[in-house]
Chain A
Amino acid sequence: MFNWDQRWDVVIGLEVHAQLQTKSKIFSGSSTAYGAEPNTQASAVDIALPGVLPVMNYEAARLAVKFGLAIGAQINQRNVFARKNYFYPDLPKGYQISQMELPIVGFGELDIDTPNGSKSIGITRAHLEEDAGKSLHEDFQGQTGIDLNRAGTPLLEIVSEPDMRSPSEAVAYLRKLHSLVRYIGICDGNMQEGSFRCDANVSVRPRGQVEYGTRTELKNINSFRFVERAMEYEIERQIDILEDGGSITQETRLYDSDKHETRSMRSKEEAHDYRYFPDPDLPPMVLEDSFLEEVRATLPELPVAKKARFETELGLSSDDADLLTADREVADFFEATLAATKAETKIVANWMSGELFANLNKSELDINASPINSQQFALLLDRIADNTLSGKTAKQVFSALWEQEEGDVDTIIEAKGLKQITDTGAIEAIVDEVVAACPEQVQQFKDGNDKVIGFLVGQVMQKSRGKANPKMANELLIKKMS
């Protein structure tokens, strides 16, 4: 855990750009799919030919409202698009269509878990805007290439209050937000592709001071790891300056993850005057009550509610419930497995958090990409529940499934001869062998050393190559020896 001088308080606010999962762009019919050849998904509107006009894609509004409802925010049923004017080669119109005075989503809140318990982080607003294109600096021999495929992709800019007091709180908020947008299906959360981007406003002030210190804005922090490191660096930098009697310059700073430092991009004086004004091409967006209700009906169970249900209805521990609700896909996998299996809830939870997660992590896979689907997983757990498999043999079957060996759970068990021996006669024969082979331990047991039974069961399991039902072996051993 990072620690700075305790004489300083840290204040952090985050601006997150979440790319909304619409099929087409916010103001044109072009596809939003990632990774196409440059400029193949750029229409007349996207490249801002003379005379073209934007037309609102209401799917983007639907997703924004979904977010607003999920954080219990006020939805501005009349909201207005504004032009943010600045020149840049990847900004085709010379202005970005955004929202200024009347954003679609007003104030809401998101609760995060901190070492001191739950904390509510204010979300000032969330507004719709279009993304810019990309400048390509490679492959053009000293010139710059422009790819406008991304231009016009819908973004929801989610602006928090300066409510976070440490980089770890900021990361907790970011993770919570990341989970939420994926939960409600408005953003794929892919940080590498830039679908979920974060800027941070960071300032420090002497502990106890009420006024905020001068802040800097950190750009380009596009992974959870970088967010924390960038903020830590920046906090230390600010504290160093202030302790040396200096003052902080309000500016935008860029985080360089290779060098682990932030450097000045532009100062307040150099900041653009964006000359915002309402976009005359787009009438104010008016959202009817019925639209809001329609969107509300599509909201899935939210993480907080799901976690509570997992704890109260399914009897999971708080930690298990946390783990299994952090991702909607994980929760869905868990519930699908649970519905399909006879195994106990606790067993399902243990096998997911244990074997499944370990393998997913090792292979760096999302649960959606798991080679074992919930149906196979449920069947595997069924075979534990009905004593066909022991914990140990079940792991062998799991590995076979993971490696995509041929066949389903039952054929693999058959093929590998892993079926647990539950035939009393067969186990009795092995037990007899073990009793005969281990007279010393048998005597110890008879002398009252109960613990030695574990060794003897182990012997039975070994002789049966793990297939004997350990519970039955245990019972039979005791019967034979008494």
Chain B
Amino acid sequence: MTITTLATLAADLKDGKRSSVEITQDYLERIEHSQHNAFISTNADFALAQAKAADAKRASGDTTQLLGVPVAQKDIFCIEGTQTTCGSKILENFIAPYTATVVENMHSHGVVSLGKTNMDEFAMGSSNETSYYGSVTNPWRSVGRGSAQDPLVPGGSSGGSAAAVAAQLAPAATGTDTGGSIRQPAAFCNLTGLKPSYGRCSRYGMIAFASSLDQAGPMTHTAEDAALLLNSMAGFDTKDATSLDIPTEDFTASLNHSLEGLKIGLPKEFFGAGLDSEMAAIIETAVKQFEALGATVKEVSLPNSHLALPSYYVIAPAEASSNLSRFDGVRYGQRAAEYSDLVDMYTKTRSEGFGNEVKRRIMIGAYALSSGYYDAYYSQALKLRRLISNDFDAAFAECDVIMGPTTPSPAFAMNSKSDDPTEMYLNDIFTIPANLAGLPAGSIPAGFTQAGLPTGLHLITPYLQEAKLLNIAHKFQQETDWHLQAPPPADGALNSNLGGKH
């Protein structure tokens, strides 16, 4: 099976080979017959109406590049009239009455929203196992092979998006990344995933996890697709005070620029203990590929990167504990069926509505902000964040891009880490620093392990240099075909007790 890119579909639509309705219908059928539990909901009427409108626009001469191309949306984005759950029971009955700016931007570019993809509850997780709507299987190994091997996780929190694109249930998807939630699942599922600079994409209508870290971005097969999709997502939004009021950019414009003279920095801290040796070798090979393209490589240092995880696991839960207070059963979402008084209503609603990982982070966050502990935890974490940011400034004085592995190891088996939060948190050790510093960062397919599992090459560029990052990724993809590999066809007799609602 060969992969289908956004660019291919856009060309087909332009040439009149296929209509948006045909394409959309095709993907909706694939979703219906898939076994990965990648979607929480689809709304065929909604998607087909958009597709029909796109076809009509094209017929009347509209040549917008992504007009009529379907994309899957992470279920963290509000889309008017559709169920928007954020992977949580507490929002099971929530129909959004408005549309997120990012989605609205995409719609105004003619993009068709195929459906809402599965995700870790409130984007808190690295395996998609915290979703109330069931785990998602990684298309690269969605079936258990004997009792010793469970299916693999797709990563998280944008696990449904990653699985959907990898399994070709959508040509591309949106994700959000607070500590690696785009890049880690992209790495696990052999995709290109980009977390833009903080402020590049509006957060309005994207259900907040950690406001100072959250950022939406594209999850695609190719860097070119990522550029195309980012073009339709990004832009200043007066409804988000943290969105950047800067001129729009065409991220496809510099994709083919030469990498002659590119200075690659490899932080020594990213290649130490804990990194899978097979992965290290794959990354090393990928870097050599860049040297062949004219780049030079040097070692750099991010001396405070070991502080990223502790800093993140104070700041993100602290913000989350406050952001999630609005889910109180008063105005929308689930409310406990029976309660004796107000406090009882709050307690039961939130006890029943939130899963364990969400509760854990709310408690950590509330603790870190509480009187008497604020200085010891939250203030300290902010100082560490500053140090980490300074490390990048220093490193970028010496190089144009920082490279390393996206994750310490390839996709792991379901249930293998879900009982050990700290083990799970270590998955994001390489991705978190870019969130803390607000920098653009991406993961691109870098090759496969001997077991046939995808690995990701992690790229970090200076602030607002998404175009540079995509240029580097694109040139690599012109020389390699890792990103064109599709997962093996799924076994017909899938175990299906993973899917569905509880």
Query: Which A residues lie at the B interface, using CB under 8 A?
Result: 44, 47-56, 83, 85, 87, 89, 92-95, 146, 273, 275-277, 280-283
Contacts and interface: CB of A to CB of B under 8 A. Distances in A.
B97 A44 contact: yes
Interface in B277-308: none
A51 B206 contact: yes
Given A51-B205, A85-B369, A282-B241, 9 more contacts: A50-B96, A51-B100, A53-B241, A55-B238, A55-B239, A85-B325, A87-B325, A276-B374, A280-B319
Contact of A87 (B211, B346, B374): B346
Interface stretch (B111-119, B138-146, B221-229, B327-335): B327-335
A125 B127 CA distance: 48
A283 B242 contact: yes
B374 A277 contact: yes
B204 A277 contact: no
Contacts of B330: 89, 92, 146
28 contacts: A44-B98, A49-B78, A49-B96, A49-B98, A49-B332, A51-B100, A51-B204, A51-B205, A51-B207, A53-B241, A53-B242, A54-B241, A85-B325, A87-B328, A89-B328, A89-B330, A89-B342, A92-B326, A93-B325, A94-B325, A95-B322, A95-B325, A275-B366, A275-B369, A275-B371, A277-B319, A277-B374, A280-B319
B212 interface: yes
A50 B366 CA distance: 20
Contacts of B322: 83, 85, 94-95, 275, 277
Interface in B236-265: 238-242
Interface string B360-398: 000000100111001000100000000000000000000
Contacts of A47: 331
B241 A283 contact: yes
A48 B326 contact: yes
Interface in B81-98: 84, 86, 91, 94, 96-98
Contacts of B369: 85, 275-277
A363 B232 CA distance: 64
Contacts of B98: 44, 49
7 smallest beta-carbon distances between A and B, as pairs: A94-B325, A280-B212, A275-B369, A280-B211, A51-B205, A50-B207, A48-B326
A50 B378 contact: no
A50 B319 contact: no
Q: Tell which of A49, A54, A276 has the most Cβ of chain B within 10 Å.
A: A49
B318 interface: yes
Contacts of B324: 94
Contacts of B332: 49
Contact of A55 (B205, B241, B371): B241
B208 interface: yes
Contact of B203 (A44, A53, A89, A276): A53
B370 A55 contact: no
Contacts of A280: 210-212, 242, 319
Given A55-B239, A281-B211, A50 B325 contact: no
A276 B207 CA distance: 21
Contacts of A277: 318-319, 322, 369, 374, 378
Contacts of A44: 97-98
B230 to A, nearest CB: 20
Contacts of B374: 275-277
| Chain B interface residue number, banded | 35 or more
A459 to B, nearest CB: 79
B175 to A, nearest CB: 16
Contact of A50 (B91, B210, B211, B346): B91
B211 to A, nearest CB: 4
Main secondary structure on A side of the interface with B: loop
Nearest to B330: A89
B370 A50 contact: no
B241 A51 contact: no
A121 to B, nearest CB: 29
B315 to A, nearest CB: 9
Given A146-B330, A277-B378, A280-B211, A52 B205 contact: yes
Contacts of A85: 321-322, 325, 369
A51 B78 contact: yes
Nearest to B366: A275
B90 to A, nearest CB: 10
Interface in B341-355: 342, 346
A33 B98 CA distance: 24
Contacts of A53: 203-204, 239-242
Contacts of B342: 89
A94 B326 contact: yes
B287 to A, nearest CB: 35
Contacts of A55: 238-241
Given A50-B84, A56-B241, A89-B342, A273 B326 contact: no
B371 A273 contact: yes
B462 to A, nearest CB: 20
Contacts of A52: 204-205
Nearest to B346: A87
Nearest to B238: A55
A89 B329 CA distance: 9
Contacts of A93: 325-326
Nearest to B88: A50
A276 B318 CA distance: 10
A93 B211 CA distance: 14
Nearest to A47: B331
B208 A51 contact: yes
A95 B332 CA distance: 17
Nearest to A86: B325
Nearest to A48: B326
Which of A44, A47, A48, A94: most chain B CB closer than 10 A?
A94
Contacts of A282: 241
Given A53-B203, A55-B238, A92 B78 contact: no
A52 B203 CA distance: 8
B9 to A, nearest CB: 28
Contacts of A95: 322, 325
Contacts of B206: 51
A322 B94 CA distance: 59
A414 to B, nearest CB: 61
A28 to B, nearest CB: 10
A50 B328 CA distance: 12
Contacts of A89: 328, 330, 342
Contacts of B212: 280
A80 to B, nearest CB: 13
A281 B94 contact: no
- Among the interface residues B206, B208, B330, B371, which one has the most CB atoms of the partner chain A within 10 A? B330
Contacts of B319: 277, 280
Contact of B242 (A51, A87, A146, A281): A281
B238 to A, nearest CB: 7
A87 B238 CA distance: 29
A48 B77 CA distance: 15
A280 B286 CA distance: 37
A470 B71 CA distance: 95
Nearest to B243: A53
B331 A92 contact: yes
B336 to A, nearest CB: 14
Contacts of B77: 51
Contacts of B84: 50
Nearest to B324: A94
A280 B436 CA distance: 13
A146 B330 CA distance: 9
A283 B241 CA distance: 7
Contacts of A87: 325, 328, 346
A50 B374 CA distance: 26
Nearest to B379: A277
Contact of B78 (A48, A50, A54): A50
A17 B492 CA distance: 67
A57 to B, nearest CB: 11
A83 B210 CA distance: 14
Contacts of B207: 50-51
